[in-house]
Structure formats: structure tokens, C-alpha cells
Amino acid sequence: MATETHCPYCSLQCGMRLTGRRVPEVSAWEEFPVNAGALCRKGWAAAGLYGGRERLTSPLVRDRVTGEWTAVSWDDALDRVVAGLRGAQAEKGPDGVAVFGGGGLTNEKAYALGKLARVALGTSQIDYNGRWCMSSAASAGIRAFGLDRGLPFPLADVEETDVLVLVGSNLAETMPPAARHLDRLRARGGRVVVIDPRRTPTADRADLVLQPVPGTDLALALGLLHLLVAAGAVDEDYLAARTTGWAEVEESVAPWWPERVERVTGIEAAEVRELAAVLAGSPRVMVLTARGAEQHSTGSDTVLAWINVALALGMVGKRGAGYGCLTGQGNGQGGREHGQKADQLPGYRRIDDPAARAHVAGVWGVDPDSLPGPGRSAYELLDACGTDDGPSAMLVLGSNIVVSAPNATQVTARLEALDLLVVCDVVMSETAAIADVVLPVTQWAEETGTMTNLEGRVVLRQKAITPPSGVRSDLEVIAAIAERLGSTATFATDPEEVFAELGRASAGGPADYSTITYDRIRDEGGVFWGGERLFASSFAHADGRARMLAVEHRGAAEVPDDDYPVHLTTGRVLAQYQSGAQTRRVRDLPDDGPFVELHPLLAGRLGLATGEAVQVSTRRGTMTAPARVVTTIRPDTVFVPFHWVGANRLTNDALDPASRMPEFKVCAARLAAVGRG
Ligand code: SF4
């Protein structure tokens, strides 16, 4: 009999059916509404995660002198882990130990990990790789609307709008089943606008494509709002009834005439005017941002600027219109709601809110005063590892930091400076390879748990196959560590039990899961927390109004100069997912390795042709990969995919002041044809 479950990868969480006991067979689950049976190449090939020889099935410890790995028993491994954690805390206090999670962990795991940190370890030092995914949109959403739910409406609402503006999203390549909504929208006469420095496969489905200089999306939004004001297209009644702050925002966009926008963004003033006219004349406009707009040191202000456009047009809360963020990681939404973030308790509560602390401490059966305060953000936490003031031991779940962290050479050195690095993983990832202890855990179809997709729809990944002997679930590992640490709080290992506890802990919080159960999810094809559509009549701020916040264009933290004369941007390819720890090992997915995409004008200056080796250098590192010469990228910009070691050795660790998002999407680089100087 087939098990109905969901894809192991991205935030669409496509439904699929699995059969088979050891290696599953994937088939379509047409009734699941999000993807209606469609899957991308990664989803169809998901069974390839099983049956490979690389799967870890025994705990391993590494000799730091010889570098040799030795298989040990679970008891031995856990005893070593806990002795190391205790030693670090004896030397440095509770914050001597850090915990690092991931946006791919189930809600249950994210919740249990946060509880392990705050209750069993008493450390404030916990954050996760989702900080690098959507934190800028989350920060902006909370400030503007009082609530962060990536899409406040079902994704299918895209088909009902008149103009869809995609800012920094390559949706057709990163989540192909979602691209059918673009096709249907256009079939009924709607228009798609794509804003991206690269002309991606998503642009092939667009009516208007704008290719700004990386890091200037904010200036474009300011310029559009300037023109909308001039055209009298602003919805004054909506602004008066549903928002605050419009006067300051209106004043702030006055100096952003189209020619100034052209100078900053590289987009011709005529094109800016064309887009403004399209927006001004459309009854329903929907703006969706993704990593291209958000992964900047100005990411949260950029999102606020686009939210201001949507609010000024009176679109937010209107059916088939509004603003949303296309979250990336599988549990990018749920992973940011239940306590693995440095400043957060379950239910999207703030850890510095006394009422939130009292509620969650009550569920956990501990004194609220025993809970630590906020800790460091992801990059700052990693950068502190092994320093006098930072943690000297770290536990990592669901993250391949060595590949995915910005300024990765520096981060790897910090991880190597730890006295103890413990990694829970299914394979010997690049991060596991530098750990002291690796704990082999179950994955995807071997375990049950909930994920919250990009729409805020809580879905159930159900266990379909038997895990290999020797592995344990992350929940069992967390419970075993807590028990060895002598925690008085209980740590359940049954996912449904953990989910029920999560529901109680989240009750009354911004992301309240208390009425959601596994049975409801099965019966209803997923359950939206907070309701299917949000903001129809009020926003989540106490007065029910959205906040319009005036923001300024600041530009990228690092701009090209004589030494590093081009922009470098990073992103994804269809066949790979995130750090590639899973997908690079799936035989049915092509793994051609990294490449450097550049325009013929730039390639010509270097004498480069497709396939020839090119070295890319920034102030932080260097990598070499084959060139791909394409006309679809700006001549002043190069692109490198981040699924392999290398791209993030180059990226900038400049952080957004509000979200602490690193500037993955733009820095200054120089190129050299290898062998030609
Ligand atoms: Fe999986 Fe995302 Fe592809 Fe759907 S679009 S099959 S969730 S990787």
C-alpha cells in the first residue's frame, strides 16, 4: 500500500506517494492541491537518497592527530558528546555550548532542539541556517504586518492576480511545479514581471523582464512608488483606513525620479515608467520576493520597500493580490516558528517577552527565570566559535555549514577551532568530515514529522520505509543527550507526542498550532496555521493597521572597484538542492559541478570560451570552475551556483542590521582565465 507523504526538498513540499520497504518508489499524489501530482526532477529522483553506499549507519569518532575515523557504540558516542558538552560548560558557563539547526528539520525536531538548548543545556547560543534563507522577509513582515507568514494566501492565488511581480525569484527553475500558475495566469490575460540580474527560465514566462544591478532592488521599488504617487495611482482610502506611516513614505520617495533610478539600478527610465504604468492600471497586483531581493545587507529594507508598493496600491489583504515571500528550504516557514532561532520561543514568541517565557516555561515545567535570553545570530555565532568569548563545543543538526555559510573559509576555521564539534547527519557531509563525533540519523521517508510549506500549510511527512539498522532519529538523539545531561524536563521521541506538546507551547502565540493535529492534517490535505488567507480585514499589530516604514537605498556593502571590477551573485540550479549533501549523491540527478556564468562581452575581454577554466576571486577567497558564456546575464555580473564547496568562500559576511542576513547575493569579484594570468 502506498504512503502519502511529501518531497524531501524545497518549501513547496509537493505531495507524493511512496511504495516499497527499503528503497521507496515515487508516484504521483494527484489529490494533493499544491502540486496536483506534478514533481520536479529532484522530487521524481528522491528515491535515490536510498540504497547508496555512503549512508552512515554507525556513530563515528575522529582522531584529531591521525584524522582517522573509528566506529563506536551509541552509548560510547553519546557519553563522549555529553562529556565534551559538560567540559565546555564547566570552563565557560552555559553559553560555552552552541546548537545549530536547519530549515529542513521537521517542526518537531526544531521545537525539540530549541528545548534542548534552553532547558537541558541552558544555553542562549542557538541559531540555524534558516537565518540565511528568509530572515530579511521575516523581519520585514513582522515590522510591516505584525506577523511573518511567507505567503499569507495559497500559492494558487497567483492565478487570480492581474500583474505578478517576482523580485529575485527563479521560481520556474527552483520549484517547477509552481510555474504552472504563471502559465495559467498568462492564459487568462494576466501579466508576469520578472526582476532579476539574470534572465532565468522564469523570465521565459514573463511579459516584462528587468535586469537590475545586483543589490539595487530597493531603489527600483522607491522609483516605482515615486511614479505611482505622481500618477495618482495610490489608494488613499486604503492607506487612511488600514495603514500608518504613509506621509513619511510618500516624502521619502519624492527624490526617486526615473532617471535617478536608472543611474542606480541600470534599468532604463523608460522601463521603470513602463512597469509603473502597468501597476497603476491593474486592479490586482501581487508582489513576491525571494532570495535575490532578500539575501543582502539591505534585505529587510528592500522587502519593506516592496511591501510599501503593495500597500500603497491597496493590495494587501485583497483576494488575488498583495505581498508574499517565496520561502526556500523545505521547512523554511515552520523552522522559523518553533524555537531554534536565537531570539525566539515556540509559536513565534519572543524570548525576551516575560509573558511568552512564563507560558513556555509552564509547558516545559521549568522556572521562567531559568530560560536564557537571546543569543547570537547564525553567522555571528559561527564566527565566535572557539574564541575566548564564544562557545567551545557545538551540536549541529540538519545543516552543512562548510558549504552553505558565507565567507566559508573563515567559518570553517572557526569550526575547526572548537574543542568539540558534533554533527548529526545521514552522510559524511563536508561539515561532518571535520567533526569530532558524527551521529548517524534517520532521514525523510524513514520517519514521521510535520513541515510547514511556503504557504503556511502544515503538512505531514509520513514514515514509509524501514531505516537501516544502526541509525536513530534526531528526536531520539536529542532525548538521549538531555537525559545524560540530567534534564528534569521530559523529551518525547514519538513525533506525534512532540507535535502535541509543540501545539501547547505555541498556543496563544503568533504562530499558534494548538488546534492542528496529525489527523486533521491527513483529513484536510494540510492545515494552514492562522487560516487560509490573512490580512483581509486587519493586520496583526495591536491597532490592526499595517506599518509603512520609510527606507533608504544604501547599496551593496561591497561594490566593484579597480581591483575587483565585477559583481558576483550566487544561486541555484534545477537538479541540486541547497548544499547538495543529498542531491549530489543521487545518481539520477546530473552533477556537473560548479560553473561560472558570464556575458560574452566580459568573456571576450578575458579571452574565455565556454568550458575553459576561470578563476573567481574576492577579498575572502578564490575558486576555479569552467566558464559558461551566456547572453542572459548582465555584462557586469558573474553568477556561481552555491551547491558545491567554493561559491561561499567568495561571498560577503556583511549582515543586514535588522535580520542579520549575510549578503550572499552580491559582492565585488575579479576573474582570470586560468593559465593566461
Ligand atoms: Fe520537491 Fe520542491 Fe521539486 Fe516539489 S518543487 S518536487 S518540493 S524539490
For atom 2 of ligand 1, the residue with the nearest CA is 10
- pLDDT tens digits, 601-658: 999 999 999 999 999 999 999 999 999 999 999 999 999 998 888 888 999 999 999 9
Check if 215 has its Cβ closer than 6 Å to any atom of ligand 1.
no
Which atom of ligand 1 is least distant from the CA of 44? 6
| Residue whose cell numbers read 584529531 | 64
* Cell triple for 51: 540504497
Residue 356 pLDDT grade (very low, low, confident, very high; cuts 50, 70, 90): very high
For atom 6 of ligand 1, the residue with the nearest CA is 43
Check if 12 has its Cβ closer than 6 Å to any atom of ligand 1.
yes
Check if 332 has its Cβ closer than 6 Å to any atom of ligand 1.
no
Residue 480: CB atoms within 10 A of its CB come to 20
Q: In Å, how far from its chain's centre is CA 129?
A: 7
Residues 119 and 100: their CA atoms lie apart, in Å, by 16
DSSP letter string, 606-619: HT--TTSEEEEE-S
Mean pLDDT of 520-541: 96
Q: How far is the CA of 331 from the centre of ligand 1 (A)?
A: 12
- Residue 676: the pLDDT is 59
In testing the pocket of ligand 1, which one of 39, 169, 454 has its CB within 8 Å of the most ligand atoms? 39
DSSP letter string, 522-580: HHHTSEETT-SS--SS--SSTTSPEEP--------SS---SSS-EEEEEE--TT--TTS
Angle at 328 between CA 134 and CA 664, to 5 degrees: 55
Check if 40 has its Cβ closer than 6 Å to any atom of ligand 1.
yes
* Cell triple for 307: 511591501
Q: How far is the CA of 181 from the centre of ligand 1 (A)?
A: 15
Tell which residue, 446, 144, 574, has the closest CA to residue 316. 144
Helix, coil or strand: residue 21 = coil
Q: In Å, how far from its chain's centre is CA 305?
A: 20
- pLDDT tens digits, 385-424: 999 999 999 999 999 999 899 999 999 999 999 999 999 9
* Cell triple for 227: 511614479
DSSP letter string, 260-325: HHHHHH---HHHHHHHHHHHHT-S-EEEEE-HHHHSSTTHHHHHHHHHHHHHHTT-TTSTT-EEEE
Which atom of ligand 1 is least distant from the CA of 6? 7
Which atom of ligand 1 is least distant from the CA of 13? 7
Tell which residue, 238, 319, 302, 286, has the closest CA to residue 546. 238
Q: How far is the CA of 44 from the centre of ligand 1 (A)?
A: 9
Which atom of ligand 1 is least distant from the CA of 8? 1
Q: How far is the CA of 46 from the centre of ligand 1 (A)?
A: 10
Check if 316 has its Cβ closer than 6 Å to any atom of ligand 1.
no
Q: Is the pLDDT of residue 583 over 90?
A: no
φ, ψ of residue 289 to 5 degrees: the values are -105, 160
Task: Tell me the β-bridge partners of 629.
Answer: 598
Check if 328 has its Cβ closer than 6 Å to any atom of ligand 1.
no
Which atom of ligand 1 is least distant from the CA of 43? 6
Residues 325 and 134: their CA atoms lie apart, in Å, by 8
Which atom of ligand 1 is least distant from the CA of 7? 1
The least confident of 51-65, 106-120, 308-322 is 51-65
Check if 9 has its Cβ closer than 6 Å to any atom of ligand 1.
yes
The least confident of 49-58, 261-270, 555-564, 664-673 is 49-58
Check if 305 has its Cβ closer than 6 Å to any atom of ligand 1.
no
For atom 4 of ligand 1, the residue with the nearest CA is 14
Q: How far is the CA of 109 from the centre of ligand 1 (A)?
A: 21
Helix, coil or strand: residue 208 = strand
Q: How far is the CA of 12 from the centre of ligand 1 (A)?
A: 6
Check if 98 has its Cβ closer than 6 Å to any atom of ligand 1.
no
Mean pLDDT of 283-297: 94
- pLDDT tens digits, 188-222: 999 999 999 999 999 999 999 999 999 999 999 99
- Residue 329: the pLDDT is 86
- pLDDT tens digits, 478-487: 999 999 999 9
Tell which residue, 276, 264, 444, 334, has the closest CA to residue 113. 334
Q: Is the pLDDT of residue 677 over 50?
A: no
Tell which residue, 658, 638, 574, 613, has the closest CA to residue 40. 574
Angle at 334 between CA 104 and CA 244, to 5 degrees: 135
For atom 5 of ligand 1, the residue with the nearest CA is 175
Residue 675 pLDDT grade (very low, low, confident, very high; cuts 50, 70, 90): confident
Burial 621-647, CB ≥16 within 10 A → b, else e = bebebbbbbeebbbebbbbbbbbbbbb
Helix, coil or strand: residue 654 = strand
Angstrom distances, CA of residue 233 to CA of 189, 309, 311: 21, 11, 12
In testing the pocket of ligand 1, which one of 6, 12, 13 has its CB within 8 Å of the most ligand atoms? 12
- Residue 376: the pLDDT is 97
Tell which residue, 491, 497, 490, has the closest CA to residue 477. 491
* Cell triple for 522: 491527513
